[in-house]
Structure 1
Amino acid sequence: MSDFAGGIRRSVQAARELAKQQQAARRRHDEEESTRQKQNEQRVAELPELIWGRIRDAEDAGDGAIKVERTRGTGRTTFQVSWQEGQPDRALHIVVDEGQGVIQASWVVAPQHGQSVDAPSVEAFRFDLAQLEAAIELLVDQRRWGRGIIPMIPW
């Protein structure tokens, strides 16, 4: 066999091996994506009750300074955690979108105190209740809000 033919044969073998590796990588990626989607679906289904429990804990501990509401709609649960003492008037608005598998939050503030600030959406399986707790702690931080600082939502 000539050097040319041998080179072609080696190139074909290398191409076939690379194609196998790429196919295996695609298969692993698809399996990981499927697992991630299942985890996300499971997490987004459980988040509304977990969040409701945690914000009710905050309301109970707030001794009247925090008011909470929950509204359920088709594929969405919306929560409002409102500060009842001191200015500025403010609330943490949280939406769990079961259809999209994401959670989103925003600060709702009185117009004279600035514009509402949205946090980016985060996939449900990436959301941790510690993030919610941190956001509620920011809601009640009167020193920060009293200086006109609208904090970033920690997700």
Structure 2
Amino acid sequence: MACADTSSEIRPPLPPFTRETAEQKVRLAENAWNGRDPEKVSLAYTPDSRWRNRAEFPQGRAQIVEFLTRKWEREHEYRLIKELWGFTGHRIAVRFAYEWCDDAGSWYRAYGNENWEFNEQGLMKTRYASINDLPITESERLFHWPQGPRPLDHPGLSELGL
């Protein structure tokens, strides 16, 4: 399988990461995912990006778009917070939580960790996610901002005790 040429696509901040640029990369990813636009989100990944997300293994942007489309069709009122866990060179480790409700109106908080690896242009070439869902009541929800990016003054995971 030939590798796709991504030399014309640049997605700052670029590796090798510093604490500041790794935190920027995490917040940019969080904002994009909270925008819930599968096509736009897919552009942060290499055309041949490889994922593991729970028991699914999307590969390439087309499969990422299909995956995210299905995800956000069933996960209503999706709100996500990501937090930098660690970084080195071309890799970033993230922990996250997101809240959502299903078609029946049942609420969940998903907790997880992601390991990311980037190419020289700042596109993510691998994403490995481990995720667990916890049923919650609507009154237990902690993420109440309007649909879209988390406001800058909204607490992060550590501040929320998650």
TM range (shorter): 0.3 to 0.5
Question: TM-score, normalising length from structure 2?
Answer: 0.31
| Bigger Rg, which one | 1
Q: As a proportion of its length, which structure holds more strand?
A: 2
**Structure number with higher relative contact order (C-alpha < 8 Å, ≥ 6 residues apart):** 2
Question: TM-score, normalising length from structure 1?
Answer: 0.32
Q: As a proportion of its length, which structure holds more helix?
A: 1
